[in-house]
């Protein structure tokens, strides 16, 4: 009887063992696939970090490259104009025409200077909320000679709301503020100051 039970149970047990073994192998394959995808995700994350790191390094290098001397050199032929009216949705072409009619013609230097680029310091169509004044316009001229010609002619702007200044870097602006304070102190004392 034991042998009959053994003969009947053995194949059923073997079938169960085969089924369980098959299920274990299927689970093992799924675990292996998940491990591979996890490794792929880790590799992707490392590659992503590497790419982002390179981008951050590029930005840092640009910041390092842009020393104050480089900024001064880049701005040496620029002029900053304040007081030019601004229309909503103003295009660069309209701004160039405005500079031509309102500034260059008024200074009588329109035919003598060459303007390369004109842009506002703030995005087009946005007014300064604190003062409702139009943002300053930066004019890039072809040469320093053109800049000096415009600076000499700026007395033609007297009696208007327009202002004409050099486009200074933040470091130059800080130096100018410090020098201005010294200038005012010396003038109060009665010294001759230039």
End-to-end CA separation in angstroms for the chain = 125
45: exposed, middle or buried (C-beta count within 10 Å: 0-12, 13-18, 19+)? exposed
Task: Show the low-confidence residues of the chain (pLDDT under 70).
Answer: 1-9, 44-45, 47-67, 122-132, 194
User: Which token pair is 86?
Assistant: 């601004």
31: exposed, middle or buried (C-beta count within 10 Å: 0-12, 13-18, 19+)? exposed
The whole-number pLDDT of residue 36 equals 81
The whole-number pLDDT of residue 37 equals 78
Extended beta strands in the chain, E state: 78-82, 115-120, 137-141, 163-166
Q: How many residues does the chain have?
A: 194
Distance CA 156, CA 108 (A): 8
The whole-number pLDDT of residue 64 equals 46
The whole-number pLDDT of residue 69 equals 78
Q: Please, which residues bridge with residue 33 across strands? A: none
| Per-residue pLDDT tens over the stretch 31-52 | 888 888 777 777 766 766 666 6
Distance CA 105, CA 66 (A): 35
């Amino acid at each position: 009887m034991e042998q009959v039970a053994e003969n009947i149970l053995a194949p059923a047990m073997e079938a169960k063992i085969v089924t369980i073994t098959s299920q274990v192998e299927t689970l093992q394959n799924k675990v292996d696939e998940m491990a591979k995808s996890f490794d792929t995700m880790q590799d992707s994350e490392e590659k992503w970090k590497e790419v982002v790191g390179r981008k951050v390094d590029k930005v840092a290098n640009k910041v390092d490259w842009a020393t104050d001397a480089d900024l001064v050199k880049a701005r040496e032929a620029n002029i900053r104009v304040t007081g030019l009216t601004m229309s909503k949705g103003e295009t660069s072409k309209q701004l160039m025409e405005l500079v031509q009619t309102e500034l260059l013609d008024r200074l009588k230097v329109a035919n003598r200077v060459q303007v390369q680029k004109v842009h506002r310091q703030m995005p087009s169509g946005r007014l300064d909320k604190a003062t409702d004044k139009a943002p300053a316009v930066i004019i890039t001229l072809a040469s320093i000679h053109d800049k000096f010609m415009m600076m000499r002619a700026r007395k033609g702007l007297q009696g208007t709301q327009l202002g004409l200044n050099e486009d200074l870097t933040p470091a130059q602006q800080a130096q100018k503020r410090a020098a201005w304070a010294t200038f005012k102190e010396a003038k109060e004392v009665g010294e001759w100051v230039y």
